[in-house]
Amino acid sequence: MNRLEDKVAIITGATGGIGEATVDLFIKEGANVLMVDLSEDELISVSNKIGSNKLSYFQGDVTNASDNQRAVELAVERYGGLDIFVANAGVSGDVSSITEYNEEVFDQVMSVNAKGPFLGLQAAIPFMTERGGGSFVAISSIAGVSGASLLAPYVMSKHAVVGLIKSAAKECAEMNIRVNSVNPSPVETKMMRILEDGMGDLSEENDPKTQIEANIPLGRYAEPDEISKLILFLSGDESQFITGSVHMIDGGSTA
């Protein structure tokens, strides 16, 4: 316990499954946490559920540069600095062929999943540098290292996250800012329910979840708290010599 004592963290997509689990774990480990998400009602709900005076929130859009800047400034104003930024916000987009894919949905997927982490890192770097360093963790996916039929924009966006963390790790090393990605296989979250519904519309075979789990050697989806534990490790001092790394947490899917 207390592995993040006196650390200051921003977590985007904080009201989703992985986000909420990470917020809860970070608070238990002693961090001061600023949650960022679109829905104030959901932010209030998570705040009330966790119930900590080390927790606050900012209603913002990760695709907006000024919102990212404001979030970082708020963390510094409220807690005195910034040590950790977890770029977790993400959307799945549609389950659709390349030829039929809606351009507006494509733009949203790329903006949230790829532009969002870039803008977050851009805003965080100066304040982490003032602090003497920090850790930036971006949530990618197994789709960040392999392809997936009918999910091309999502796959593109998650590959982009991997490109970002590898480039940023080299650029930020001299500032003692470590940059890594966490790449889960399917997780028990609302996002997977959306993807399963989309797949179900295109298939009359076994239910989508059964089909997906059949391709995971451990035979199940990950739980959000299992992902949060890896995020914790990469955020804290136990991973001081790890940067530019892609961390698979996929039940053996990419083995």
In a 3-state reduction of DSSP, which class is residue 134? strand
Q: Which residue blocks in the chain are alpha helix, DSSP H?
A: 17-28, 40-50, 65-79, 103-110, 116-131, 152-172, 190-200, 208-214, 224-235
User: What distances in angstroms separate CA 238 from CA 15, 135, 231, 235, one per listed residue?
Assistant: 26, 11, 12, 8
Are 118 and 89 in contact, with CB atoms under 8 Å apart? no
Q: Taking the mean position of all CA atoms in its chain, how far away is CA 118?
A: 12
Q: Which residues pair with 92 in a beta bridge?
A: none
- Which residue has 């005076």 as its token pair? 53
Concerning whether 154 is annotated as a catalytic residue, the answer is yes
What backbone phi and psi angles, to 5 degrees, belong to 17?
-60, -55
In 3D, which of 237, 242, 247, 235 has the Cα closest to residue 9?
Answer: 235
CB 130 within 8 Å of CB 139:
no
Q: What DSSP state is assigned to residue 249?
A: E
Given a contact cutoff of 8 angstroms between Cβ atoms, the answer to whether 32 and 7 are in contact is yes
Sole residue written with tokens 């510094």: 76
Q: Which of 57, 101, 154, 221 is catalytic?
A: 154
Active site amino acids: 154
